Chain A
């Protein structure tokens, strides 16, 4: 009985992220449009796009191999699972022992791996540009992410997201400089990983500036749809990651009553709304930077993460 409820909750969580991911994307777009004094597409536009694309036939380049065709599903699956394992409205989910924070980061890594391979498969130069730049960015983003994981897990004594959330909610957490630093670092990483301004512009199709879009240039139809879905899932994932690690308030824990779950969902929606708004404002406020300045940008994140870890030792007194 217990198990079934847990499984149910886990399933709800999975469906929740799957369902509201496009909504978040649409919401951010809409906000940006408003900030740029445009009317912008309706909030539900992403769903329409997905449905439209799914129903279209897929056009494959002559040279495309099975890698090109299976990559989208692999990307989608890994991203979905990763997103489903990050607590959104409730911690202690039944599958959460399957993967701690490091494993979740690694899952995203596999998704990136598949995407980069897909970019190289057709054998045009655009895909290559995208993949190589993506890997370069990742090579800087991942250590930064790991440093953040260190900081948090050194505080909470765990890499398990549920425990982290519990710790941050708990009383013994004072105001921590290092937490703030790692939050900033995490935001930078999230921006880079989700191909947002200033690292990359999801809206552009100007070859020399695009990274993510360059890789998926050859995709069409259902494959494109699946990749887009994965992209918005990833965005959502990072939002809920930040929420879970730095603002876990209102999170329900497994085995609690329905009311707590409802509160959890509610607070989660609020967090998403606030986060989305901030993102939109930030993106409108900043300009895209040259590709080779991205390394400095992410290097800053890495430094912040390292600094946070070391500061922790100083503040912890051994």
Chain B
């Protein structure tokens, strides 16, 4: 495998991590959506690239799904929802942006640290990709817990899923990748356009998960 292939792959993976950082940093709803679209785009590109260099045509399907569903449909839908719910104001993050960025950097360092000793024989490509995808996953988790707003939590979750797709495609010749990505898209669909938001919409006037704490059962 030639250098170029590697470098391009690394480029995409690194770009994904960068996008995750931008997600962490971004605190405006629409901006968040746009960056997420970018995130998804990068994923689909990297998957497509993997399909190209691994000569695995079925990965193109995955790339297509990623592109269509996550880069186009979902942002649009979310945009609608946000408008309908009228929450396109700036969203307060928990704790300052500064600490969150620091934490994010620490997470990336951790994931690289964890990945370094392994997969010596698995080839550099997968190792770097794994390190990057792991950091994407951790950053997504960090985003989920650093946002109070359900939509941004959903976006964080979707970025996690992008990281997983990245890892799955990085694993050379892994079967069922398509099925898995489809299954994941189902979850996403369920989360986003699924019954819950509507139910929650019709039950509560906010999607702030925090507010739902009031309805917790079992309290005296």
**A touching B, CB within 8 angstroms:** no
